[in-house]
Each structure stands twice: as structure tokens, then as C-alpha cells.
Amino acid sequence: MYLVSIPASISRILMTPLGSRVKRPKYGSLLYTLKDREFNDSFRVKATKYVYEAIKENEPRAVVKRLIFIPDAVSGQVKLQIILDNNDEVEVRIK
């Protein structure tokens, strides 16, 4: 039995910089490298890649079904809405 729900686990994985945990160097994602970057096609491709890689490596209970980008022009943030194969949703913000 797992102590953390799948959405909470994915949120934690995506918000943790890859390599920041000493005993788990593959835990986390590279999404932090996209902070303060222009929201364009390159951003979308990299973010998609980073999300899929991090979830595949660190959360065996989940499979990503769809990834939706919701940019906020006022704050400069991009919200990622991740829809899993079991229809759970996870939201992560890139600042």
C-alpha cells in the first residue's frame, strides 16, 4: 500500500529539481530549467518531454494520457494540467 496518492506523488516529482536528492539522483524533473523562459513551441516540447520522462522514471502507478498547457499572460506562469489514464488530474505551475 502506498502512503501518497498518485496526483500528490506526481506533483512532488515534477516540482523537485532533477538530481537534488542525494540518495535518489534520478528523482525529480527538469521542469525547473523552463522557469522564466518564453512560452513557445520549444517550451511545449521540452516541458512535455520532461513531464513524461519524470513520471515514467519515478511513478510506476501512473501513465500520462494528456497534457494541457494553460498560459497566463498576466502573471507569466504556465499551468500544466496532466490527465492520467485513470482520469486523475494533476496541476503544476511553472513560474
In this structure, is residue 78 part of a structural domain? yes
**DSSP assignment of 25-82:** TT-SBSGGGGTT---SHHHHHHHHHHHHHHHHHH-TT--EEEEEEEE-TTT--EEEEE
Count of domains observed in the chain:
1
Averaged pLDDT for residues 34-57:
95
State the pLDDT at residue 33. 95
Q: Write the pLDDT tens digit of every residue in 56-72.
A: 999 999 999 999 999 99
Residue 1 forms part of a structural domain: no
Q: Please give the residue range of the domain that contains residue 61.
A: 6-94
pLDDT in tens, 4-36: 899 999 999 999 999 999 999 999 999 999 998
- Can you give the pLDDT at residue 21? 93
CATH classification at residue 30: 3.10.450.40
